[in-house]
Amino acid sequence: MANLFRELRDPETGRWLPKEVWYRVRGAIAVTLSLGVLLGGGWFVYGKVHDAWMAYRTVEDYVDPEGTADVVIEIPQ
């Protein structure tokens, strides 16, 4: 069976293989960047959907320009 995980050290000398280390670092950077983009995009979409839902669900308040008029609220039974 093929080895799924490459060794970071040379099996003969025991020294670090810079090429293998670079592959691991490059892969970790790619995964981190991908997760950041996905999480950031998800947060952005969530914010837009939440704002749209709140705008749909709520009604604008009545504001009297002079602040003197009474407002009567009737609740149907």
Q: What is the pLDDT of residues 23-76, one digit of tens each?
A: 889 999 999 999 999 999 999 999 999 999 998 988 777 677 777 777 788 999
pLDDT of 58: 84
For residue 73, tell me if it sits in a domain. no
Position 3 in a domain:
no
Would 68 be classed as within a structural domain?
no
Domain count, the chain: 1
| 40 is a domain residue | yes
What is residue 65's predicted lDDT score, i.e. its pLDDT?
75
**Among 10, 8, 31, 30, CA closest to 21:** 8
User: Residue 71 domain-assigned?
Assistant: no
Which range marks the domain in which residue 40 is found?
Answer: 12-58
The residue that leads in pLDDT, 2 or 23, is 23
H helices of the chain, where?
18-57
